[in-house]
Structure 1
Amino acid sequence: MFKLTNKSVIITGGGSGIGKAMAVLFAQQGAEVHIIELNDQAAADTVSEITAAGGKATSYACDVSNQQQVIDTFAKVGKIDILINNAGIAHIGKADTTSTEDFERVFNVNVKGAYNCLYAAIPALKANGGGIILNTASIAASVGITDRFAYSMSKGAIHAMTLSVARDYINDNIRCNCISPARVHTPFVDGFIAKNYAGREEEIFEKLSKSQPIGRMGKPEEVAALALYLCSDEAGFITGTDYPIDGGFITLNN
């Protein structure tokens, strides 16, 4: 079950965290993984890990907010069976404390970046007789999160785009779903806490961990396992759906 033999998979932001876990797992399941990543070193390290284990992987330096770069990069990949829109950035701020520059930066990466990848990939998926799109949304698309105005906006857009794409291309044999993680322990989280809460790292990490009713943050490998299922033939009856993977955050925080 859940084999991806001979499948060509594009994963944006595949050099670290959740994206890396997806890349490693998908390669283990037989996919040829194409990592789209701004961080050349992180991407190269992931590719090395995959190839050392006998898998197939290639990395491409690409800014997903630049449509022409995305189109050119996807053309290099060629055949596409699965697109995972995972690249994203975070931001702390409320509506009246978020600058225009920060709002546009989050929008350009998280929303426009996903759109650019959809724009480039869908014609290739249609030409290939269909395929799968999986978008990384967030619990912030479903519930109010304090001080995450721009980030929540962007993930709400990802959720809405997922529904639209799933509806528009259902007759082209393209399935589109999204996943909504709660807090997942990645190097990004550690860096985010260090940057925004200097001197309070342990306190904030504990607070964020316990915000999940299950009592801890998720693991990248757990998110990757859900992604694998949704991108496999076994999930062939699932489209237009958001899957929270959140330790009970959405439904049990009462």
Structure 2
Amino acid sequence: MSFITPKGKGVFKLKSVLITGAYSPLGHAIAEKFFKENYLVYGTSTREREDGCFKTICVDIRDEKAVKEKLKDIDSLDVLVNNAGIFTVNAPEALTLDDFDSVFDVNVKGMMLVTKYLLPVLKKSNGSIVNISSMNSLHPGFGGTSHYDASKGAVSAYTRSLARESGLRVNALAPGLIKRKDLIKSDLAKHYESHSIAGMLDVKQLADSVFFLANSSGIYGQTLLQDNGYCLY
């Protein structure tokens, strides 16, 4: 999308970003950050809804035909943020194949499908990709999360290889525990507060880091750990 500059001095192109899982707390914070930085923002959701700062694309990212169809009209894109993900807890000995598949289908397959169909337009713009990994890809989780941890380890591995194979700036952010209302005063929150330097993270902190990675130069295939010092302990 192009716009005439003030006083008619040429034309500038509005940068654009697509964020999967844009209605999650982190996804929405990322969308707001890019919107405030004057990006045209697209956000995916599994159901029809509207938001003031981005255009919603209703798609199940696990469905290849749906992804291909819904993304085919995007002919220009500067940034892709693969944020969509799910988290479940189950002991390894109780984990079913359905439990395992449900996490990998979104966290890994969905990321791969969206990336596959947007790579051509990202290459045209020499764009960048930011994948949302997790602290758990680098450090054991809090119990019952081995399948989730493995999925986020796959995100970080995919990030490294994709940067090499695509030649684009592909990086990942690995957040620690994010502040949520349901965690306030919980045992998990108390544990995290006592085992980190600065406690749980605010989504705005993380959104700033996503924006940094998206617009950085010379950084390829890296996973940036942002955990307020939890993994130091």
Structure 1 residue ranges without an equivalent (≥5): 51-56, 194-200
1:109 aligns with 2:98: no
Match of 1:248 in 2: 229
Match of 1:80 in 2: 77
Q: Give 1:143 deviation, angstroms.
A: 1.1
Scaled by the length of structure 2, the TM-score of the pair is 0.89
CA contact (8 A) 1:182 1:212 kept: no
Q: Secondary structure at the match of 1:77?
A: coil
216 and 108 in structure 1: CA distance in 2 versus 1, 3 angstrom threshold: same
Match of 1:54 in 2: none
Match of 1:94 in 2: 91
Q: Distance in 1 between matches of 2:136 and 2:47?
A: 25
Match of 2:132 in 1: 136
Match of 1:198 in 2: none
Q: Secondary structure at the match of 2:90?
A: coil
Q: Secondary structure at the match of 1:231?
A: helix
1:178 aligns with 2:175: no
Aligned residues: 220
Please give the root-mean-square deviation of Cα atoms over the aligned residues, in Å.
1.7
Structure 2 residue ranges without an equivalent (≥5): 1-12
Match of 1:158 in 2: 155
Equivalent of 1:149, from 129, 146, 151? 146
Equivalent residue letter for 2:46 = L
Q: Give 1:184 deviation, angstroms.
A: 0.7
Equivalent of 1:32, from 33, 40, 43? 40
Counterparts of 1:39-58 in structure 2, within 5 Å, are 39-41=47-49, 44=50, 47-48=51-52, 50=53, 57-58=54-55
Equivalent residue letter for 1:219 = D
Q: Give 1:39 deviation, angstroms.
A: 4.4
User: Would you identify which runs of 4 or more consecutive aligned residues in structure 1 move more than 4 Å?
Assistant: none
Q: Distance in 2 between matches of 1:152 and 1:165?
A: 20
